[in-house]
Amino acid sequence: MNPRLLCASAVALVAAPALAQPRIELATDRVEALMLASDGSQLPVHEERLTIQIAGEYATTTMRQTYFNASSSRIEGNYSLRPGSGSHVDGFAYWNGEQKIVGEVFEKQLAHQVYDSVTARRRDPGLLEADGEGAFAFKVFPIEPKENKRVEVRWNKWLERHANAVHYRAPITSRAAEIVIEINGNIKNVRSSTHELSVEKLATGVRLRSKGAVAPGELDLDWDLDEPAWTPDVYVQQGNGKEEGWFALALAAPTLPETTVTAKDMTIVIDRSGSMTTDDKMEHAKRAAIAMVHLLGPNDRVNVISFSDEVDPLFKTPQAMTAENRQAALDFISRLHPIGGTDIALALKTAVADQVAGSENPEVVVFLTDGQSDAAQASAVTTGNVRLFTLGLGRDVNKPLLSRLAAEKRGRFVFIENADAIEKEVGRLAKNIAKPLLVDVAVTIDGANAVRIYPRTLPDLFAEDELRISGRLRGTGTVKFTVTGKLAGKPVSYTRSIDLGKATPQPWAASLWAQARIDHLLEEIALDGSKTEDKDEVLELSLAYNVITPYTAFLAVPESELGGMHDTVLAARARKAKIMAANEVAMAPASTSGKSSPFIATNLDVKLHTGSTANDEASGGSRPAPEVEQSEQTVSHAHGCAGCAMTGSSGGTTALVIFGTMLTLLRPGRRRSSRKFQ
């Protein structure tokens, strides 16, 4: 389907021919939002509104829907939201008539106790929690016969980017849904394959409104960032201590000529254990591996290893990509059939050991498996200079293990829930891996002390891919961020300087770091659950930063309906307030109206702003454009992105605003220093 093209008279948006910018391939995880009755029937949507604020590549989405109970019975509504992998819910509310009941994050066990207690008295609570990969669910009871039940959920996501193209998706139920989108920054070529949109140019970007959908199901939107190649984007947020804060750094790789692509040695490792017969996973994996072999270039080397409880390599080491060796690899893959158990550690050891001695090419191992294995043995495998990419197939795969292996070995982990998505996901990954651009990546931060950097090991940067880093920052004045590596065998560096005192605040940088820290701790717990301090820290971070985890849930209950749980909830709020205070999280006074619960409102009331000098002047600002440098050429155009803006909640609810810093999580460091991370 050709994308619909949007254009405006302003230079911010420029119409392009349908084939000038290729359509970004959709991620295979579905997006949806629906409410079911107790009998499994779907409640119709009476009205739907989607409000989206996008700063750079960080999107904050608020969805408000009204569902109608057409039955003659009182029901419990079961709401399911899948905004997509990488999304994080940070706001939840529902309405009793005109009264808005806003949720707050509690420990999950307590939230369930309160919910069960209140529903037992036929009252009106709401409970939202994580429900699998990129999915959330909540219950609302009761919904009376012929009642319209309004609900609202807000989620955040760092969007996919390929070269200069950014992609946004959201679930939409109705063709007539009201959709308002504000994109902040220098953008062009806005396009949608699902909606016809009107466009209005703003001083800080553009505002889009839906004029109707081609079909219900989702909103799909793409646009290009109008910035020079290899421009680092840096976002910072200072904490209450003024010298404490957070940062996020992104560097996108452009599409470059084949002459800049680094040759590589690739080993494809395929699980052929008996469990691969389920859902035809073996056949899908074989076709995906065959496509990967076809994508390798003439300067690459290739090897294929199959494994179950034993290992069978095609070659002793990766071999030159001659026509004969390519065909041998294709034939080897085609003959595979599932049998035996799963020994990830043995397969990984073999793949690492069977590399070309003294090769100057990046050594890449792509690992496809659907099974479980001994985490300790697999984690203990020494991989040397190998870049490891892991693909987990199906619900039973050991996601924490594969994610940790990839993160520590400069690769990435891709989770594929459904077998029929294997070929598409592997194809997307293979296209990136086929073109490694920036290798041996490191980041140096001068002028401030940076700690708790994620990811801990930086991956190579492939064509049309993006490097993303978040961390804590201690310092004042100007901070210089430098990304270094090798491009086509030559050392390069890309620099961005930010004055912390003048930089536009980006509150979401704090939430981004907190989520990265939580993800790291959850992997630790899944691999070794004996450390209670890891669980305690996840719970503390969840409460302080308003994050849904396996240990927390959103609870929304009218104050007047708490009954015998009133003192329990008050005690939980008092504990939460202490956690926020210990982490120096700013907190507004709680509501005394008795009509709604307090609401932790991260990312609220932040004005849209751009970083370029021209746009600063247009919006009344005077902040100079940050410095952008390259080792081989000087980039004179600076692109800055802003924090997201959200409107505050209504219904008499007082916000608890998180702009704090977590001093207890920082280790001492020098005020001005230079740190390098690799």
* For residue 470, pLDDT beyond 60: yes
Amino acid at 87: S
- Give the pLDDT of residue 595: 32
Tens digits of residue pLDDT in 583-642: 654 433 333 233 333 333 332 222 222 233 333 322 333 333 333 344 333 222 222 222
Q: How does the average pLDDT of the chain come out, rounded?
A: 77
Tens digits of residue pLDDT in 267-296: 999 999 888 888 788 888 888 889 889 888
- Give the pLDDT of residue 374: 65
- Give the pLDDT of residue 140: 83
Mean pLDDT of 31-48: 89
Tens digits of residue pLDDT in 357-393: 878 888 889 988 887 666 667 766 776 778 888 888 8
Q: What is the number of other CB atoms lying within 10 angstroms of the CB of residue 581?
A: 13
- Give the pLDDT of residue 395: 74
Cα separation, 282 vs 280, in Å, equals 5
Local confidence band at 678 (pLDDT 50, 70, 90 cut-offs): low
Mean pLDDT of 471-482: 92
Q: Where are the domains of the chain?
A: 262-434
* For residue 534, pLDDT beyond 50: yes
* For residue 432, pLDDT beyond 60: yes
* Residue 165 CB-density burial (10 A; 0-12 exposed, 13-18 middle, 19+ buried): buried
For residue 597, give the 3-state DSSP assignment.
coil
User: Could you tell me which residue, 161 or 380, shows the higher pLDDT?
Assistant: 161
Cα separation, 343 vs 325, in Å, equals 27
Cα separation, 211 vs 220, in Å, equals 14
* C-alpha distance from residue 643 to each of 141, 154, 474 (Å): 36, 16, 20
Local confidence band at 444 (pLDDT 50, 70, 90 cut-offs): very high
Residues 406 and 234 sit within 8 Å (Cβ to Cβ): no
- Give the pLDDT of residue 29: 64
Mean pLDDT of 247-260: 83
Mean pLDDT of 426-437: 74
Residues 475 and 243 sit within 8 Å (Cβ to Cβ): yes
Residues 643 and 423 sit within 8 Å (Cβ to Cβ): no
Mean pLDDT of 294-300: 87
Residues 20 and 191 sit within 8 Å (Cβ to Cβ): no
Greatest distance between any 2 Cα atoms in the chain: 77
Which CATH number applies to 262-434: 3.40.50.150, 3.40.50.410, 3.40.225.10, 2.140.10.10? 3.40.50.410
* For residue 26, pLDDT beyond 60: no
* For residue 492, pLDDT beyond 70: yes
Nearest CA among 616, 626, 331, 667 for reference residue 501: 626
Cα separation, 148 vs 45, in Å, equals 9
461-462 and 449-454 beta bridge pairing: unpaired
Tens digits of residue pLDDT in 301-352: 999 999 998 999 999 999 999 999 999 999 999 999 988 888 888 888 888 8
* For residue 675, pLDDT beyond 70: no
DSSP-based helix, strand, coil % in the chain, nearest 5:
25, 35, 40
Cα separation, 579 vs 104, in Å, equals 14
Q: What residue spans of 459-612 are helical by DSSP H?
A: 508-527, 532-545, 566-582
- Give the pLDDT of residue 375: 64
Tens digits of residue pLDDT in 186-204: 899 999 999 999 999 999 8
Cα separation, 362 vs 436, in Å, equals 8
Local confidence band at 644 (pLDDT 50, 70, 90 cut-offs): very low
The model's pTM: 0.74
- Give the pLDDT of residue 649: 36
Cα separation, 412 vs 407, in Å, equals 6
Mean pLDDT of 29-45: 86
